Amino acid sequence: MAFESLSEKLSAVFRRMKSKGKLNEADVKAVMREVRLALLEADVNYKVAKNFVQKVSERAVGAEVMESLTPAQTVIKIVDEEMTALMGGGEARLNSPSSPPAVVLLCGLQGSGKTTHAGKLGLMLREQGHRPLLAACDVYRPAAIKQLQLVGEKAGVPVFTMGKEDPVRISRAAVKHAKDYGNDVVLIDTAGRLQIDETLMGELKNIRDAVHPTDILLVVDAMTGQEAVNVAKSFDDLLNITGVILTKLDGDARGGAALSVRAVTGKPIKFAGTGEKLSDLEVFHPDRMASRILGMGDVLTLIEDAQKNLDRKKAQEAAEKMVHGGVDLNDMLEQMREMKKMGPLQNVLAKVPGMSQQLKDVTVDDRIVDRTEAMILSMTPRERQRPEIIGASRKRRIAGGSGMRVEDVNRLLRGFEQMRKLMKQFRKKGFRRRFSGMGMPF
C-alpha cells in the first residue's frame, strides 16, 4: 500500500518523541530532521520537503507546543494539519458549467491508465445520478477504441466513437451528441505518448480549444514517484490542467507524488485510483490521506466503503440475529462474503485507527476468507446450523472436501464458538444500553 514505508518511519519518530515528557527546541529540531529524511525517502520533492519541515518547525517551537501538557501530541497535530494543507486542504470537485454538458478532458502519458480511469470516473458519475458519455479520441493506439467500449460496457456508460477520424472532430461531435441526447458529462479519452512531445501537446491543445473543457484532468501513475510530479508540471505548463487523477495508490508507491503534486503545480489531486476494479476510484480527501499517513486510520472512508458495498438489509438482519442469539455458520459465511466486497482485507483494516501499526509486520492473506468459505460449503446444511454436532469423522470429511486439514476445521469451529460467546456478552443489559444510541437494534 502507498505510504506504508513513510507511515512506519513517521510513527517510529513520533513514538520516540512521546517518550519525552517535555520538548525543547533541540528536541523539535532533531525530530524535524528525521521527518525530512522520511519525506525524502518517500520520494517527496526536495523543495517541498524542505518547506514543509520549515513550516512545521516554526509552529512547533512556539509556545503552543512548549507550554502544552502533551507536546508530542501537539506536534503530531501540527504535522497532520500541515500535511493536509500541503495536499490541498479539502477535496476538489469537478467544475460545473453554466449549462450542460460538463466536458472533462483526460490526458497523460501512454500507460498511465487514462482509458481505464475514464471508465472508473464514468461509473462514479453514473452512480451519483449523472448521465456521462465516454468519447473515444485515442485513434492511434491499437485496440484503444475497443478497450474503451469494453470499459464503458462494464461501467454501464455509453461510448461515442467515429473510428479513426481526426480527434478534434470526434471531440466536437461527442459534445454535440451529448447535447442532443441529454448526457450531462462528456469524458474525452485522448491519446498518450511515451514522452511529452510537440505532436501530443499540439493535438491536446487543439481539442481543448475546440470543446473548451470545464476540467482538464491529468492521469499520472503514482508508481513513477518523483517523475509523476515532473510530468504533472510539464502538462500544467502547456495545458493549464485543473486537476490530477493519481493511479495505483494501492500499489508499492512511496507516496511522494501525492505529497508533491499540489505544491509543485498548484493544482489539486481530485481522484485516486486504489485498485483494478472499476469501482476502485476515490475522491481524494487530503485530510483523510494525512490521517492514513500518520497511522491514525480513515474511518470516514471506511464507512463510505461499507455504505457503498454492503447490503443494508442483510446487515440489519445479521444485527437482529446477533441480538437474539440465532447466529450460525451460514451467517458467518454471508458476512465474510459481504466483507470481501469492500476490497482486500489488508486495505480495509489499515483504515481502522491504530490498526496500521498493528499490521506493519503482518500480511493479511485474503485466501483465508476463501479457505474458510470452502470449509463451510463442505458442511451439510444441518452442520452449518448446528456446528456442535460436528465430530471427528465429520471433521475429516469436511477437511477432505475443502482441501484443508482437520486442524484448520478445528480452528474455524473454535473461532466461531468464540464469536458466539462474544455475541452473548453483547446481549447483556449493560451492552444494550451502551450501544442503544448508536443506531444498533439492541
Q: Check whether residue 251 and residue 321 sit in a common domain.
A: no
Residue where a domain stops, chosen among 258, 273, 302: 302
Question: pTM surpassing 0.75?
Answer: no
Q: Check whether residue 266 and residue 230 sit in a common domain.
A: yes
CA distance 107 to 189: 7
- Give a yes or no: residue 29 inside a domain: yes
Residue 218 has pLDDT above 90, yes or no: yes
- Give a yes or no: residue 187 inside a domain: yes
pLDDT band at 289 (very low <50, low <70, confident <90, very high): confident
Q: What is the CATH number of the domain that holds 166?
A: 3.40.50.300
Whole-number average pLDDT of the chain: 81
Q: Check whether residue 330 and residue 282 sit in a common domain.
A: no
What residues contact 293, with CB distance under 8 A and at least 6 apart?
A: 3, 6, 7, 10, 83, 255
Measuring CA to CA, which residue among 43, 134, 120 is closest to residue 283? 120
- Give a yes or no: residue 362 inside a domain: yes
Q: pLDDT at position 312, please? A: 58
pLDDT band at 92 (very low <50, low <70, confident <90, very high): confident
- Give a yes or no: residue 91 inside a domain: no
User: pLDDT exceeding 70 applies to what percent of the chain?
Assistant: 76
Q: pLDDT at position 112, please? A: 87
- Give a yes or no: residue 316 inside a domain: yes
From start to end of 146-287, where are the E strands? 159-160, 185-190, 215-221, 243-247, 269-273, 281-283
Q: Check whether residue 107 and residue 206 sit in a common domain.
A: yes
Q: Check whether residue 143 and residue 8 sit in a common domain.
A: no
CA distance 83 to 80: 5
pLDDT band at 434 (very low <50, low <70, confident <90, very high): very low
Q: What is the CATH number of the domain that holds 343?
A: 1.10.260.30
Q: Specify the amino acid at residue 263.
A: A
Residue where a domain stops, chosen among 41, 60, 86: 86
Q: Check whether residue 165 and residue 27 sit in a common domain.
A: no
pLDDT digits (tens, 9 = 90+) for 168-199: 999 999 999 999 999 999 999 999 887 788 88
- Give a yes or no: residue 92 inside a domain: no
What residues contact 345, with CB distance under 8 A and at least 6 apart?
A: 339, 364, 366, 369
What is the count of structural domains for the chain?
3
Measuring CA to CA, which residue among 407, 409, 440 is closest to residue 426? 440
Give the domain extent around 270.
Answer: 102-302
Compute how many other C-beta atoms are within 10 angstroms of the C-beta atom of residue 301.
18
Residue 119 has pLDDT above 90, yes or no: yes
Q: pLDDT at position 403, please? A: 92
Q: Check whether residue 265 and residue 328 sit in a common domain.
A: no
Q: Check whether residue 298 and residue 323 sit in a common domain.
A: no
Q: pLDDT at position 435, please? A: 41
Q: pLDDT at position 344, please? A: 63
DSSP per-residue codes, 152-184: HHHHT--EE--TTS-HHHHHHHHHHHHHHHT-S
pLDDT digits (tens, 9 = 90+) for 224-277: 777 888 888 889 999 999 999 988 877 655 667 778 888 888 899 999 998 888
pLDDT digits (tens, 9 = 90+) for 41-63: 888 888 888 999 998 888 877 65
Measuring CA to CA, which residue among 246, 228, 300, 297 is closest to residue 92? 246
- Give a yes or no: residue 157 inside a domain: yes
Q: Check whether residue 122 and residue 252 sit in a common domain.
A: yes
**Rounded mean pLDDT, 404-409:** 93
**Residue bearing the bigger pLDDT, 169 or 280:** 169
Q: What is the CATH number of the domain that holds 48?
A: 1.20.120.140
Q: Check whether residue 129 and residue 45 sit in a common domain.
A: no
User: pLDDT exceeding 90 applies to what percent of the chain?
Assistant: 35
CB 205 within 8 Å of CB 235: no
- Give a yes or no: residue 404 inside a domain: yes
What residues contact 233, with CB distance under 8 A and at least 6 apart?
A: 264, 265
pLDDT band at 67 (very low <50, low <70, confident <90, very high): low
pLDDT digits (tens, 9 = 90+) for 342-383: 666 656 655 555 444 544 544 556 678 888 889 999 999 999
Q: Check whether residue 185 and residue 296 sit in a common domain.
A: yes
**Burial zone of 114 (CB within 10 Å; 0-12 exposed, 13-18 middle, 19+ buried):** buried
CA distance 312 to 309: 9
pLDDT band at 430 (very low <50, low <70, confident <90, very high): very low
CB 249 within 8 Å of CB 258: yes
Q: Check whether residue 340 and residue 397 sit in a common domain.
A: yes
Residue where a domain stops, chosen among 281, 302, 323: 302
**Residue bearing the bigger pLDDT, 275 or 313:** 275
Measuring CA to CA, which residue among 320, 364, 315, 317 is closest to residue 344? 364
